[in-house]
Structure 1
Amino acid sequence: MDKLKMFGAVAGDIIGSVYEFWNTKSTDFELFNKNSRFTDDSVMTLAVAKWLTEDEAHTIHYLIYCMQEMGHLHPNAGYGGHFHGWLWEEGPQPYNSWGNGAGMRVSPVGLYAKTLDEALALAAVTASVSHNHPEGVKGAQAIATSVFLAKQGKTKAEIKTYVENTFGYNLDRTIAEIRPGYSFDVSCQGSAPEAIIAFLEGNSFENVIRLAISLGGDSDTIGAMAGAIAACMYPIPDEISERCNSLLTDDLREIKDKFFEVVSKRDEE
């Protein structure tokens, strides 16, 4: 696996972080400024990566452990209210959420899985511990599927057809059509399809991220989902990957690097 593929979600998150509450409706914006940072999207993405690499049985118990451990290490990353409470509960239970937290953290599944069935099953597990509403599970599976198919070298037309037929998302819209009436939407059903559309429409990694963030709304999460898919088709420019790597903490970098090593060995098997 190309080591930079793991940076797709992280880069989209970090670039989008400054625009989450100060939305832009243009693709002409600064990629980074002094306030750029990783958020809960990166932390939970890497928690899922940690789970996949450390627990061969892929148990729900260890997934919860990884998510809570990383949440406790990075408590100010910007978690939603319900999820923040979940992170600190003893024996946390799913709370029927359809939020896009299910879609933003799932991309390591698409990179790790060897088959589409495995990607779908693992994606459902990552969502079910908190976001067990059908729309939450569907959003996670749609993003994981898109990552997996892009990693496998499928064309955009093939990815679009499969996602539409399997998940029922309307991907026939354009970013220009969506942008004027789009507002802050933290639901999977209101942001995962838009992230996939940004990927389908973009012509480079940076262009995909710019399109995704130009929608406004939950910019870091849409950027993370779109970036995760885009990184499987387009190279991430060095200036983006290097800047994002510099903004991660040592523990997050360590998880990222270990995930790359494990997935690369799986790819060789």
Structure 2
Amino acid sequence: MMTLVRLPPFRKPAGTDGRTVEEHKPPVDGTDYRDDKVKLNNQDSNEQYAKLIEYQQLSSFSVEVEKFSRMVVPALETAVVVNKFRGCLVGSLLGDCLGAPFENESKVAKVVLQRYFDKMEDPNFKSPQKQYTDDTAMTKSVAESLIQHGAFNEKDMARRFTTEYFQSPRRGYGQAVVGVFRKWRDTKMEDVWRPAREQFDGEGSAGNGAAMRISPVGLFCYKDRQLLVQTAADCSKLTHTHRLGVHGAILQALAIQQCVLHGPKESIDVKSFSASLIEKMSEVEPQEEDELCDMGDEPQSYQLQLNSLQKLLNKNEANPEVVVEALGNTVLALYSVPAAIYCFLRAQRPIDFIKTDNVFRRVIQFAISLGGDTDTIASMAGALAGAHLGLDAINPSIMKHCEAHEIADSLACDLSDVTLNP
């Protein structure tokens, strides 16, 4: 696993607008090398050189070897991280846009889905752009607020959610969250926490609406797990106060963090990845969560769901019906967040009914094949795949079919600037 050290202060090279990975490459030895390749001495075999080559292999950049400088390692590392930020937010958007047409279908025909993605990958195929839903609309607001304030700001984030909804209400928002927006507007944000607490007879929402928008938090806090958990919880409680809704968002944010910290060229050890999430969730979920959670007759927790996920991984299970039976595919966070994580992990290996060598596509296609809440599950799975593989792993032909992919990319670049320059 790639270990990410604390990065030195990063400044954009003069004259750039912060919109591309290349423009985010910091200067080496104080010189602006935007138009030159960094060169290192091929004969240098010291320990630092070996580490540099390791980072080079993990990076998407082509680095020629001629001249060595200590500053090169963090420069390449920064490029890797920025690429992951871009992949995560664009991946989340693509999962949302591509999954939305199949939402609420109990079963998605595998042949239909294969043809759907084959067409999207064809550079000559033309069609209207796929529209994003409330998943992306709220993710965008989270990212914008973090960029603006460099920290969680509850009133600003609530205001952005509300403004975004009333400017574009036909994005598939649920009635419950719209009720929160209306109360915020009517009370002029007097108490941004109260409307969510009052929902569902005081129980709060257990839906996946907090988890679906949490990827910017996972990115922004990737170097600090304690801050990540707290920020994810605070961000969630603006609209979702049931612990299963909150903990689902925390789980997704932790998974995003693990993906960012994993080398993009390294294969994922799926058992280790899931075991790490179980360990972390044991610190998040209280002991009483093993008791009834008002979700049915049996004890329910994310640790139990992740245990079921591991059993599926051990069987190398790819049958959508079996996955849905074990993990779910609904709008409840408990029955969608673990499913999205499973799709990401299982798609690291080939799947018989998905004909592609592109891992990112395989993740999203597998997620949509589950049916149900396809846009949200595919969005969360796409965010994970993008955070691991980076933007370079996403086929540009697919990207162009999705509304606002340039906006998602731009926000990711800006968010990386704020994160790497606290």
TM over 0.5: yes
Equivalent in 42, 52, 56 of residue 150 of structure 2:
56
Give the aligned partner of residue 266 of structure 1: 419
Give the aligned partner of residue 368 of structure 2: 213
Q: Secondary structure at the match of 1:58?
A: coil
Which residues in structure 2 correspond to 1:195-206 (within 5 Å)?
195-203=340-348, 204-206=359-361
Closer/same/farther in 2, CA of residues 81 and 197 from structure 1, 3 Å limit? same
Aligned 8 A contact 1:50 1:259 in 2: no
Give the aligned partner of residue 131 of structure 1: 240
> Given residue 163 of structure 1, which amino acid in structure 2 is its aligned partner?
L
1:97 aligns with 2:205: yes
Which residues in structure 2 correspond to 1:57-72 (within 5 Å)?
57-72=151-166
1:230 aligns with 2:385: yes
User: Is 105-114 or 29-38 further displaced after alignment?
Assistant: 29-38
Q: Secondary structure at the match of 2:252?
A: helix
Q: Secondary structure at the match of 2:207?
A: coil
User: Which is higher, the Rg of structure 1 or of structure 2?
Assistant: 2
Give the distance between the partners of 1:180 and 1:236, measured in 2 at CA.
30
1:16 aligns with 2:99: yes
User: Is 103-112 or 182-191 further displaced after alignment?
Assistant: 182-191
Q: Secondary structure at the match of 1:232?
A: helix
Give the distance between the partners of 2:401 and 2:339, measured in 1 at CA.
26
> Given residue 197 of structure 1, which amino acid in structure 2 is its aligned partner?
Y
Q: Secondary structure at the match of 2:334?
A: coil
Give the distance between the partners of 2:417 and 2:273, measured in 1 at CA.
23
> Given residue 118 of structure 1, which amino acid in structure 2 is its aligned partner?
L
Give the distance between the partners of 1:48 and 1:265, measured in 2 at CA.
14
1:164 aligns with 2:248: no
User: Is 49-58 or 165-174 further displaced after alignment?
Assistant: 165-174
Alignment gaps of 5+ in structure 2:
1-81, 121-126, 282-302, 349-358
Give the aligned partner of residue 187 of structure 1: 332
How big is the shift at 1:255?
A: 6.5
User: Is 65-74 or 169-178 further displaced after alignment?
Assistant: 169-178
Deviations 1:119-166 (A, max 9, x none): 211111111111111101110001111011100117443321121233
Give the distance between the partners of 1:135 and 1:208, measured in 2 at CA.
25
How big is the shift at 1:266?
A: 2.9
Give the distance between the partners of 1:191 and 1:175, measured in 2 at CA.
16
> Given residue 279 of structure 2, which amino acid in structure 1 is its aligned partner?
N
Give the aligned partner of residue 87 of structure 2: 4
Q: Secondary structure at the match of 2:180?
A: helix
How big is the shift at 1:263?
A: 1.2
How big is the shift at 1:184?
A: 5.3
Deviations 1:85-138 (A, max 9, x none): 212223452131010111100011111113222221111111111111110111
> Given residue 217 of structure 2, which amino acid in structure 1 is its aligned partner?
V
Give the aligned partner of residue 40 of structure 1: 134
User: Is 158-167 or 101-110 further displaced after alignment?
Assistant: 158-167
Q: Which has the higher helix share?
A: 1
Alignment gaps of 5+ in structure 1:
none
Equivalent in 251, 258, 276 of residue 149 of structure 1:
258
How big is the shift at 1:179?
A: 3.9
Aligned CA-pair RMSD: 2.3
1:115 aligns with 2:251: no
Give the distance between the partners of 2:90 and 2:110, measured in 1 at CA.
21
Higher relative contact order, structure no. (Cα contacts within 8 Å, ≥ 6 residues apart): 1
Size of the aligned set, in residue pairs, is 264
Which residues in structure 2 correspond to 1:242-261 (within 5 Å)?
242-244=400-402, 247-248=403-404, 253-254=406-407, 256-261=409-414
